[in-house]
Amino acid sequence: MHIPVLLKEVIDILAPKSGERVLDCTFGGGGHTSAILNASDCYVCAIDRDPEARDRALQLKNTYNERFDFVLAQFSEISVLFSDKQKFDAVLFDFGVSSFQLDKAERGFSFLNDAPLDMRMSKNGISAYDVVNTFSEEDLADILWTYGDEILSRKIASAIVDARKLHPIGTTLQLANIVRETARFKHVTKKHSKIDIATKTFQAIRIFVNDELREISTALENLPEILNDGARMVLISFHALEDRIVKNWAKSQRNTLLPINDFVVRPTSKEISANPRSRSAILRGFLYNTAGDRRKKSEDKGE
């Protein structure tokens, strides 16, 4: 079960109206999509790269019929998926993995269960197994440092390469134990921390396997092409790397993007205790207003 994060805040900002077109770029379990469809008589198109999300979307199609469509695609493709006549009035991105992906052991995203290393959202391309067993020590260290901010990146990479000389590292628990052992040896295990020391390594490999940061940058670059004037946008990040891309994009588009809130929106402690996976959510909302761009251009021309 996936509990949609910051649900009320998302609906308040997207404010879907009857007859409007809404795009949910990260369908997942469809929690946000269902709430949008229930909030008004709007149309929702949802995207997800995971074929298992498509199976869940079929159930929603039976309920909402022509008010809902699902497209199995990567959100970096939005500018080619929709024509000029198919622009949107509201768009949602809820980045990262869904609970369906994390909780299904055989998808290989989590070290809470032992399962084959995989982590591919789209179920194709290189897997976590390929990365861990074939990448050079240097490349592994770079991935752990760049996408996981892991201070032990070099030590962990070296331990991975040593371990795989004996036999391939096939499962999530084998990898987690290599990381835990390296941290224990280096005395960096935090006794009272609730966060497992292997978390950063798993995050880093997952981001690399799914090319997550490039997906976000490309999607945001192309986003204006599919927006109607006055469109509302919500972007929910789960770590600083994602949020930095959103922040820089908003800065680069400041003539047309108006922030809806003065500050980022975060879940309340009540939401976090009901849904601990929401704890790192950072929501930013924007209004697309091309009038600002027109004003800036005429100012530049001295009109």
Ligand X SMILES: C[S@@+](CC[C@H](N)C(=O)[O-])C[C@H]1O[C@@H](n2cnc3c(N)ncnc32)[C@H](O)[C@@H]1O
CB 96 to ligand X: min, Å? 5
Q: How far is the CB of 95 from ligand X (least distance, A)?
A: 6
Q: Cβ neighbours of residue 122 under 8 Å, at least 6 residues apart?
A: 49, 50, 51, 74, 210
Beta-bridge partners for 182: none
Q: How far apart are CA 3 and CA 6, in angstroms?
A: 9
Applying the rule CB under 6 A, the residues between 9 and 38 that interact with ligand X are 26, 28-32
Nearer residue to ligand X within complex by CB, 256 or 275:
275
Nearest to 172 by CA among 133, 120, 129, 207: 129
- Told to check if 203 binds ligand X by CB under 6 A, we report no
Q: Measuring CA to CA, which residue among 50, 52, 36 is closest to residue 88? A: 36
Query: Could you say which residues in the range 150-179 bind ligand X, by CB under 6 A?
Result: none
Residue 50 within binding range of ligand X, rule CB under 6 A:
yes
Cβ neighbours, 10 Å, residue 70: 22
Scanning residues 95 to 154, which ones bind ligand X (CB under 6 A)? Answer: 96-98, 121
Q: Are the C-beta atoms of residues 101 and 2 closer than 8 Å to each other?
A: no
Closer to ligand X by CB, 179 or 236: give it: 236
Closest to ligand X by CB, 104 vs 154, is 104
**Closest separation between CB of residue 14 and ligand X, Å?**
12
Binding residues for ligand X, rule: CB under 6 A, are: 2, 4, 26, 28-32, 47-50, 53, 74-76, 94, 96-98, 121, 215
